[in-house]
């Protein structure tokens, strides 16, 4: 007897539903002080209201699940980052830059605990580490293009190396968010946002020809 044909789109939608169910429950558990490394598959599935067999139908292990979560969260933070890279130009001010960076913080903050878990796991899991690099490096490329455009138009420092500057800023801000935004109150978050704004402004925009 032939195996039933599974609609790929239907399977993909179901996988997303399972991913989101697990995401909501795990972030709740992390907020309560649970350790992801100590959570077994049986407990994860039970807490999310799915069967163990259902988990393994869509995810090989906890590492693959982390990768699926990272991909989901990265899309939302990249969308916010694109607002900065496409919206900031020669007429923009420090306040405009701060607003753009705050949008990135706002997309990141709901998932800060989970992203900390993901990045810690990536040190030991090559596949997960590659997934993160797969996301960070293209972000560096988009920032490089922003720098090159600003240099051509005169509102970014022409002496900067676009590629090197972009990679440093991208990786520094990415790692910095994982380390510095974990368990901070709103006042501290705002101080960190102000500091990042000054770093980016001084690096890219302050010494541009258009600013004298």
**Any idea what the CATH number is for the domain that residue 153 is in?**
1.10.357.10
Give the residue from 43, 59, 75 where a domain finishes: 59
Q: Are residues 74 and 147 in the same domain?
A: yes
The neighbour count for residue 26, using CB atoms within 10 Å, is 23
With a pLDDT cut of 90, the percent of the chain lying above it is 45
Q: Are residues 75 and 37 in the same domain?
A: no
Q: Examine the pLDDT at 210 and tell me if it is beyond 80.
A: yes
CA 191 to chain centre: 20
Helix 126-153 and helix 162-180, axial crossing angle in degrees, nearest 10? 130
**Predicted local confidence at residue 5, as pLDDT:** 59
pTM above 0.95, yes or no: no
* pLDDT tens digits along 14-71: 888 998 999 888 888 988 888 888 889 999 999 999 999 999 999 988 888 888 888 8
Q: Encoding tokens for residue 179?
A: 């380390």
Q: What pLDDT band is residue 204 in, cutting at 50, 70 and 90?
A: very high
State the maximum Cα–Cα separation within the chain, in Å, rounded to a whole number: 77
Q: What pLDDT band is residue 96 in, cutting at 50, 70 and 90?
A: very high
- Tell me how far apart the alpha carbons of residues 194 and 192 are, in angstroms, rounded to a whole number: 5
Q: For 194-211, what is the mean pLDDT?
A: 95
Q: Examine the pLDDT at 194 and tell me if it is beyond 90.
A: yes
Q: Are residues 70 and 54 in the same domain?
A: no
Listed residue (211, 197, 193, 104) closest to 156, CA to CA: 211
How many domains does the chain contain in total?
A: 2
Q: Examine the pLDDT at 4 and tell me if it is beyond 70.
A: no
Q: Are residues 85 and 121 in the same domain?
A: yes
Q: Are residues 188 and 111 in the same domain?
A: yes
Domain that holds residue 92: 62-211
Q: Are residues 21 and 78 in the same domain?
A: no
2 located within any domain: no
């Amino acid at each position: 007897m032939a195996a039933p044909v599974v609609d790929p789109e239907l399977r993909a939608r179901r996988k997303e539903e399972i991913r989101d169910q697990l995401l909501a429950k795990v972030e709740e558990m992390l907020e309560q002080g649970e350790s992801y490394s100590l959570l077994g598959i049986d407990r994860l599935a039970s807490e999310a209201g799915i069967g163990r067999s259902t988990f393994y139908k869509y995810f090989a292990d906890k590492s693959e699940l982390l990768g699926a979560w990272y991909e989901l969260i990265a899309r939302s933070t990249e969308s916010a980052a694109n607002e900065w890279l496409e919206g900031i130009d020669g007429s923009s001010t420090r306040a405009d830059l701060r607003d753009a960076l705050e949008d990135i913080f706002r997309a990141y903050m709901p998932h800060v605990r989970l992203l900390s878990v993901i990045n810690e796991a990536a040190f030991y899991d090559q596949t997960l580490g590659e997934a993160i690099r797969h996301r960070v490096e293209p972000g560096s490329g988009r920032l490089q293009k922003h720098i090159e455009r600003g240099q051509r138009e005169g509102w970014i420092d022409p002496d900067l190396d676009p590629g090197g500057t972009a990679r440093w800023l991208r990786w520094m801000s990415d790692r910095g968010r994982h380390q510095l935004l974990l368990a901070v109150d709103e006042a501290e978050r705002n101080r960190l946002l102000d500091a990042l704004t000054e770093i980016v402004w001084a690096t890219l925009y302050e010494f541009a020809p258009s600013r004298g």
